[in-house]
Copies of this chain bind each other. A is one copy, B any other.
Amino acid sequence: MTFKNLDTTGAFDALSHLQPGNPKTLLNAERIKAYQAPAGAGITYQYAAMPVQEEHLQLLAALAEEQQLISKYQALLDGEVMNTGEKRLVLHQLTRGQIGKNVIADGENKATFYQEQLKEIERFSDQVRTGKLTGSTGKRFTTVVQIGIGGSDLGPRALHLALKGWCSAQDITSLDARFISNVDPDDAQAIIRTLDLERTLFILVSKSGTTLETLTNRDLVIDAIKQAGIHGLDPSQHMVAVTSKTSPLAHSGSVRQAFFIDDYIGGRYSSTSAVGAVVLSLAFGFDTFKALLAGAHEADLQALKPSIKENAALLDALLGVYLRNVLHYPSTAILPYSQALSRFPAHLQQLDMESNGKHVNRDGQNLSYPTGPVIFGEPGTNGQHSFYQLLHQGTDIVPLQFIGFSKSQYGKDVLVEGSTSQAKLNANLIAQIVAFARGKEDANPNKCFAGNRPASLLYADRLDPKVLGALLAHYENKVMFQGFLWNLNSFDQEGVQLGKVLATKVLNGCEGDAVLKAFTELL
């Protein structure tokens, strides 16, 4: 393997000199049929409205070759140290199935380690769900609260919301799940006051076991449990931990049980590890989580296909780099036409921006080209009545990634004026892609739409656990390929350190009105 900056590749140079395609004139029925690539688990990546033609695609394929994207992915799967900054392996794909060689680290087979954790989680979640394990006063658990922040929160929270409707429609008995993340004490308070503490199980999630927000919120919860003054209510029997084996949380005696992850699972990639497994298995049953893993595994396998026409993650990554580095678009909107995915963009925002918002390459040298874009998004059709004005008629072009499904999750719908709500939702989805691409002439410039707004679409039959797992893995793999393209390390996050260090300096000086005083003391 060789590692080269993007701007030293011949394919990128050739791409930069090629006239981009214009979706306004290109979008036609033939392209809609032809410009599709599988993402795994029945998801199709549709890119007919992207500003490329066959000649661009050939150069993008050449770029994939030149940057050895598939070989690097395979090396990652085989256990190479791809997190160069922290000198760590990158093993989140292994949490859902083994594709590469046996990975031995820390004196163990890592696939076995992840499988063992899953088995523990299966046993534990079954016992809680069937009422064999109860709270300290003998009452059955009805609610589970995940306490975590960043990767211990955004992914599991988005996945929980994404599956709630589907599980409800399948009559899968579920524990209610809630999430506390922010160090703002109002976040914990708003949740705690709604809980029946005797029936609540808290999951403390922190890989290091030292995350300030999470430990503070744990103490807020313990305080509330003590203040409840219920005879026999023992906080330690209402808490489990997801952490690493060496963390202070692992053996503290303050938790009922600990489930383990390791240093090879980055926070933003941890949803398919114990970080997501415990809360989702408790809420929806272990089988639901297993289906999610199966979907992610399918997408991981799909991402190994060498041809861009059969590998949506690879192609999505290449097209994203084309938009960013050849066409210089600084942001991308993620627009799921599914209310269940309303917090999925917030997870992708972390996944993408924390992974590829870097200014140095994997060897620590400054890069001279833009890397990760700003990622934002809200579900459609809501966004249509909000920020789409700027997307259609603003002065900047924002590339768009739509997500859609043929069927709803609950399957409960009504005919209004001859069509269901689901049909209306999808009619809007495709209408928007066409409107963005083609635009519209009008004698009144205020009613003109320039068009040529690039869009792609990830489309599947229904948002079930398997499809959701594949969708999640698609984005993880896309981000990974983009990191390889930009020749940076997508797996560390040095940018979060400085603020942490500075905050520690003034922690005790920030009570009440003293905040602005502390502000000057930081200088």
Contacts and interface: CB of A to CB of B under 8 A. Distances in A.
A417 interface: yes
A136 B60 CA distance: 64
Contacts of A364: 444-446
Contacts of A387: 349-350, 353-354, 357, 375
Interface stretch (A231-239, A315-323, A335-343): A335-343
Contacts of A396: 330, 370, 374
A306 interface: no
A369 interface: yes
Interface of A is mostly: helix
A256 interface: no
Between A150, A184, A510, the greatest number of chain B beta carbons within 10 A of the residue's beta carbon is seen for A184
Contacts of A495: 388-394, 449
A492 to B, nearest CB: 7
Contact of A422 (B149, B185, B365, B432): B185
B371 A395 contact: yes
B185 A421 contact: yes
A106 interface: no
A508 interface: yes
B423 A507 contact: yes
B28 A389 contact: no
B496 A434 contact: no
A385 B150 contact: yes
A105 interface: no
B408 A186 contact: yes
B353 A390 contact: yes
A492 B446 contact: yes
Given A185-B422, A186-B408, A395-B370, A428 B496 contact: no
Contacts of A445: 359-360, 364-366
A402 to B, nearest CB: 11
A502 B387 CA distance: 18
A124 to B, nearest CB: 26
A419 B390 CA distance: 43
Contact of A390 (B223, B267, B374, B408): B374
Contact of A183 (B359, B404, B425, B440): B425
A191 to B, nearest CB: 10
A102 interface: no
A513 interface: yes
A254 to B, nearest CB: 14
A75 interface: no
Contact of A32 (B164, B409, B516): B516
A-B residue pairs, 8 tightest by C-beta: A357-B390, A150-B385, A431-B502, A376-B376, A357-B394, A350-B386, A392-B495, A431-B503
24 contacts: A32-B523, A150-B384, A153-B385, A183-B424, A183-B425, A184-B338, A186-B410, A189-B410, A190-B339, A268-B386, A331-B331, A349-B378, A349-B386, A354-B387, A357-B394, A358-B393, A359-B394, A359-B450, A393-B494, A394-B495, A423-B509, A430-B515, A431-B500, A431-B522
